[in-house]
Amino acid sequence: MTFHKVYISVFLCVFCYTSSAATKHASHRHATSRKKPTIKLNTEIKKDITKTGDTLNENRKKIKNYCAPFILYAPAINSNRNYVRVPLAGQKEYFGTKTPFVNQFVVDYFNYNAKTLSVVHARSMKQFPLIDHVFTKHNLPKELKYLAVIESALNNKAVSPVGAVGPWQFMSSTANLFGLKTSARRDDRRDWYKSTEAAAKYLSYLYEKYNDWLLVIAAYNSGPTPVSRAIERTGSANFWDIKKQLPLETQGHVLAFIATASIFEKLSPFIPKGSIPENIFDSLNQQNTKTVKKEAPKSKFTEEELKRMQLIRISEPISLEIMADILKIDARQLERWNDDLFLQINKPGDKTYWLRLPKDKIDAFLSNKEEIIRRSKQFFGEIRS
C-alpha cells in the first residue's frame, strides 16, 4: 500500500484541476514523425518550435516536468482504421502480471481524488456527448475522452504554465498544425468542438505510429520523441517495458488515464459516494462471469431508424419546427423521434434535454446551434406574450 501511496502523491498533480486552479497541468509535447509528411509547417511555427527547444533546459528549472513540442509536420490520418479498445483496470488479458498493481492504483487514485472526480463527473454530462460524437466520426474509442479529464478537468479555460490552452491543452504551434486559430482575437483551443476535432486527428496519428493506446497516451503527454527513444533503447513496444525510460510525469499521466477511464467506465456509481471497496475488481470480475438472460426492451423506432439516430444532450429549449427548417430535416420525422421533448422541457429540476437527430445532421446542428437557440427563444417568447 505504501508503494501505491508514493505513486499517488507523485501523480496527484496530473489530475487535480479545479476551475480556480486549472493551470497546474503541463502542455502538449509533440515530436517529429518518422512517416512521410503531408503538410509542412510554416516558417513562423518552425522558428517558434526551435526557440522553445533551445530554452527547454531553462524552462525545466522553472516548471517541473515540462517538455517542449518538437513535431514538424502535420501527420497523415487514417480515419477508417478499426481501433482496438482502450485497456481498463481488471482486464487480465491485457495487463497480465501488472493487474494487481493497476487495480490497486485505481482504488488509491479514486480515494485520493474523490472530490475532484465528483466535480468533473457532474461537468462531464455536458461535454462527453460532444466528444463521443467527434470520436465516433473519427472511428476512435470513446474511452479516449477521459484524456480531457486529466488534461484540463474538462475546463476549456484551462491554461498551463507554459501556455497550453483549452480542454485538450494544445500549444499554439501544435494547434496551428491541426487547423486551429490562436490569434489574440480568436483562440480555437478553447472551442470544444474544434479542439476535439484536432485532438481526434492527433490521437489517430499517434495510434498509426505506435499501435498501442498506452503508448499513445504517453506520447500525447511527452511528445513522440521520448517514447520512440524508449522503444529503441529497450527493443520493446510495451508500455510496461519502457515505463522507466519515460519522464516521471509521463509515467504518472498514463497511470492517471487508466485510473480515470476505469473509474468512469466501471465505477461511476461509486463517484458520489466518495470511496470504493478495496476488492472491487474481484467482485466486478465475478459479476462479469455470470450470464443473465434479459429480454430486450421493445423500441418504438425501427432498426433502420436506430442506426441513423444519435442522441445529443442540450441545455436550452429548442423548437423542433425551427430546427427542422434550419437543418432541412423532415419535420414530421423529427417530431416523432422527439415526441417526449415537451415532457422533458416541462419537467421539474435539471433543465437538460435529450434530442434525437439523424447522425448525418449532427455537424450541421453543432454549426447552427446558436442560431437555432436564438430563434427558438424568440419563438417561445412570442408564444408567451
Domain extents for the chain? Answer: 2-282, 303-384
Amino acid 357 reads L
For residue range 24-83, list pLDDT tens digits in order.
333 344 433 333 333 233 333 333 323 333 333 333 333 333 332 323 333 444 445 566
Q: Label residue 282 by pLDDT band (50, 70, 90).
A: low
2: which 3 cell numbers? 505504501
Nearest to 102 by CA among 287, 265, 273, 281: 281
* pLDDT recorded at residue 47: 35
Residue 201 has pLDDT above 60, yes or no: yes
* pLDDT recorded at residue 234: 92
* pLDDT recorded at residue 292: 37
Please tell me the least confidently modeled range out of 72-86, 100-114, 280-294: 280-294
Rounded Cα gap, residues 324 and 78, in angstroms: 33
* pLDDT recorded at residue 133: 93
Rounded Cα gap, residues 74 and 201, in angstroms: 10
For residue range 139-159, list pLDDT tens digits in order.
999 999 999 999 999 999 999
For a pLDDT cut of 70, what percent of the chain falls above it?
Answer: 66
**HSE, side-chain direction, 13 A CA sphere, residue 224:** 21
Residue 364's contacts (CB-CB under 8 Å, 6 or more residues apart) are 327
pTM assigned to the model: 0.56
Find out whether 26 and 160 touch, Cβ atoms under 8 Å.
yes
Q: What is the mean pLDDT of residues 339-363?
A: 72
* pLDDT recorded at residue 41: 34
Q: What angle do CA 190, 181, 185 make, to 5 degrees?
A: 75
Find out whether 226 and 247 touch, Cβ atoms under 8 Å.
yes
Rounded Cα gap, residues 273 and 251, in angstroms: 28
Find out whether 257 and 281 touch, Cβ atoms under 8 Å.
no
Rounded Cα gap, residues 295 and 238, in angstroms: 41
Q: What is the mean pLDDT of residues 355-382?
A: 86
**Radius of gyration, alpha carbons of the chain:** 22
Rounded Cα gap, residues 260 and 348, in angstroms: 32
Rounded Cα gap, residues 327 and 322, in angstroms: 9
CATH 2.30.40.10 is the classification of domain 2-282:
no
